[in-house]
Structures are given as structure tokens and as C-alpha cells.
Amino acid sequence: MNISSLISFLFLFFSILNVDANGQPNFIVTSFGAVADGKTDSKQAFANAWTKACQTPGGVVSVPAKNTFLLSGGEFVGPCNGLTVFQIDGTLVASTDPKLDDLKYWITFDNVDGLNVVGNGVFNGSGPSSWAQCRSSSNCKNRPTSLKIHAVSDATISGITSLNSKMFHITINNSKNVRIANVQITAPADSPNTDGIHISKSSYVDITESSIGTGDDCVSIGDGASNVNISGVACGPGHGISIGSLGKYAGEQDVSEITVSNCNLTNTDNGLRIKTFAPSMSSNVVSDVTYSDIALNNVKNPIIIDQHYCPNRACNSGGESGVQINGVKFINVHGTSATRLGVSLQCSKTGPCQDILFSGLQLTVGGGSPATASCSNANSRFLSSNPSGCT
């Protein structure tokens, strides 16, 4: 037997040994040297398992249940040779070493066409160790996002839990056809900038049947997002479901075809929010946004369009936003506001909001009297709604 046939024989033998119940080639991280003690950095073992799975059509990186692996970081980069599966049934835990807080991301999936990140496992971002600096001083640095999905298409993320990210939990950028289902995203209400899922420059993104409770937006939709469908999401605590901030940077892309349906928001700061900077650096358009069948429970700002967004008062207060908001429907939005003001539409003086429709809106102040609506520069209609119009 010559060397090359020996190698192919061994490869075949190896492949046959490592198949899961579906007959997929299964690359178990412990076979690559990962140590399930929660203390030994298994970064290299995971990288090696990924390389194998990525080369193999249908290849599976397998993280076994009841095992905890410390991962200082993970860069899972394609292109791959067909569908690649990251089957996580155990727990990955991020390092608490403050030096690693300077990284922008903990775990990255990049340049993969056909990706499944599935299982009942946990991404534990070890956030508490790095939130402290933001609580104790105003000098709060950026920290790593737990899961970065970049340049990925035809992906499913399901079943997993993301716990206590240092900064954002999941970002989806420059991607298309991404389905997120049955995920749990959790961080305390007072954890800084722990947004649940941030979507930008991506299309055909579905988020369904998931629960998200964080210290910032449950879902935030940035520039260049289109055909996003959020359905069956329970949000809270957190800052609600947001489009924006938009207009902070030059050259931002439009946001269109966003639907949010059958969602619950409980004890959140905001409910359904669109925010744009004033003055703005770009003049992108937000169009065709539909919110339907939304239950709000004790939400401070239930419905808010704020085109004068300027955190930390860092902007020139005289400017207006050039971001155009056009076509936003609120169908059967109901529940309780924690404040008197249930609807606040503060649109741009230079580009008023167009075609804002409320149908079947029912908002009360804590279950008592109807909430009020306050609007400026907004072209709006209220049908069968309470509040029944702007005051």
C-alpha cells in the first residue's frame, strides 16, 4: 500500500468512525484536545475541529452535553465545503481576563454559506467581570460581542442560550437568509449595552419563538436591514424592539420591509421604537414597517418615534434628521403603559414622517385611563384606537 492510498484509507476509516445519528461526519471537540474542565483554554482544539468540519460537506463540530469548555475566542471562518453544523449541547464559557475585553468579538462565524448553530447548549459570555468598569465610571469601553455572524448566508441558529454577554449578544451583519428560532438571550436589566440581537446590512432575517431579556435593546435593527421578520418573541427586561439608531454615519443604507408580530414586551423601557440622530450624517429611508398583534405590559415608552435622538447630548441641538420615515403600521397593539404618554411621534421638521397608521391600538395607563399621544411633524391616522389621535 503506497502512502497516498494509506492516507485515503485512514481518512475513510476515520470518517466512518465519526458519524452521528444522521450519518453526518461528526468532529467532537474532545477528540481534538478540548478539555472539559471549564478552565483550560480550548481555542485551538475548537479551531481544528472547525477546520475539519468546514472541509467536509455536512461536517459537524460537536460540543457534547454536560461539558463546559473555556474558550478565549473562536474564529470559525469559511468558505466551507457545503453545509457546516456547529452542534452545541454543552457550555462554552468566555474568559474573565480583562485583557480580552479589548477584543471586538468573542466568537465569530464569517464567510459561511450554509451554517447551522444548533443544540441546547449555552454561550456564557462571562459578562459580569467586565460590566463593572461601566457601572463605576463614565469611561466605559467597548467590550466583545458574544456571537458575530458576518457574511453568512442560509443559516439557522436554534435552541441555544446566550447568557451574560460582555457587550452585544448576537450581531448579524452583511448576511442573508438567517433564521433564529427558539433561542434564549439573557442578561440582567442593569447590564450595560447587552443588546440581544443587532441586525445590519442584512436581508431575509427571521427571529421567531424566542425570549430575550437584557440591559439594552432586545432586538435592534440598523442600517441596510430589509425583509426582517420578528415573530413570537417575548422581550423584557430591556429597551424594547428598536429600529436605529440611524443617521449617525454618512452613507448609511435604507431600512425596509420590517415586520414585528405576535410579540410580548414586559417591563421594558421602550416598546416599539424608531430613533434617528439629529442632525444626521445620512439621508436614508425607513419604509414599510408593520407591527401587529403586540402585547405591551408596563412599558415606559410604548410607541416612540424619536428623530431627535442624541445620547449624551453630544450633537448640535439645532439640527434636524434627514432620515425619512415612510409607512409604519401599528395593527392591534395593546396593553399597559407605565407612563401617561403612550404614543410619542417626534419626527423631523425637514422631513416629516409619512403614512403612520394606528389600527386597533388600545393603550391604558397601568390598566386605568387611556394613554395619550403626542406628535409633531407626523402624518398619522388613528382607526378604532385609544388614544384616538394626537393631542
Ligand X SMILES: *[C@@H]1O[C@H](CO)[C@@H](O)[C@H](O)[C@H]1NC(C)=O
Q: What amino acid positions are annotated as catalytic residues? A: 239
Q: Among residues 18 and 124, whose Cβ is nearest to ligand X?
A: 124
Give me the 282-321 binding string for ligand X, x by CB under 6 A, dash otherwise: -------------x--------------------------
From the list 120, 231, 339, 364, which residue makes contact with ligand X (rule: CB under 6 A)?
231
CA separation, residue 269 to residues 7, 69, 137 (Å): 60, 35, 22
DSSP state of 128: H
Burial of 141 per CB tally in 10 Å (0-12, 13-18, 19+): exposed
Q: Among residues 51 and 264, whose Cβ is nearest to ligand X?
A: 264
* Residue 316 to residue 280: CA distance in whole angstroms: 10
From the list 72, 111, 259, 339, which residue makes contact with ligand X (rule: CB under 6 A)?
259
* Residue 9 to residue 115: CA distance in whole angstroms: 29
- 173 is a contact residue toward ligand X (CB under 6 A): yes
Geometric angle at alpha carbon 238, from 118 and 219, rounded to 5°: 50
CA separation, residue 381 to residues 304, 336, 337, 355 (Å): 15, 21, 20, 8
Q: Among residues 77 and 390, whose Cβ is nearest to ligand X?
A: 77
DSSP assignment of 252-285: PPPEEEEEEEEEEEES-SEEEEEEEESS-S---E
- 264 is a contact residue toward ligand X (CB under 6 A): yes
Shortest separation between residue 218's beta carbon and ligand X, angstroms: 11
Long-range contact set of residues 154-157: C-beta below 8 Å, sequence gap at least 24: 154/113, 154/114, 154/115, 155/109, 155/112, 155/114, 155/115, 155/116, 155/117, 155/179, 156/115, 156/116, 156/117, 156/118, 156/180, 156/181, 157/116, 157/117, 157/118, 157/181, 157/183
Q: Give the count of residues interacting with ligand X (CB under 6 A).
A: 22
Q: Among residues 53 and 94, whose Cβ is nearest to ligand X?
A: 94
Shortest separation between residue 32's beta carbon and ligand X, angstroms: 23
Q: Which stretch binds ligand X (CB under 6 A): 109-117, 261-269, 321-329, 341-349?
A: 261-269
Shortest separation between residue 173's beta carbon and ligand X, angstroms: 4
Cβ atoms 73, 106 nearer than 8 A: yes
Question: What distance, in Å, lies between the first and last C-alpha atoms of the chain?
Answer: 87
- 339 is a contact residue toward ligand X (CB under 6 A): no
> Kind of pairing, strands 176-181 and 145-158?
parallel
Q: Among residues 80 and 187, whose Cβ is nearest to ligand X?
A: 187
- 374 is a contact residue toward ligand X (CB under 6 A): no
Give me the 188-227 binding string for ligand X, x by CB under 6 A, dash otherwise: ------------xx----x-x-------------------
Q: Among residues 254 and 320, whose Cβ is nearest to ligand X?
A: 254
Q: Among residues 262 and 374, whose Cβ is nearest to ligand X?
A: 262
Q: Which of residues 77-136 bind ligand X (CB under 6 A)?
A: 91, 93, 96, 124, 126
Q: Which stretch binds ligand X (CB under 6 A): 12-20, 133-141, 228-236, 342-350?
A: 228-236
Give me the 234-253 binding string for ligand X, x by CB under 6 A, dash otherwise: x-------------------
DSSP state of 300: S
* Residue 365 to residue 265: CA distance in whole angstroms: 15
Shortest separation between residue 198's beta carbon and ligand X, angstroms: 8
Q: Which residue ranges make up the site for ligand X (CB under 6 A)? A: 91, 93, 96, 124, 126, 163, 173-174, 200-201, 206, 208, 229, 231-234, 259, 262-264, 295
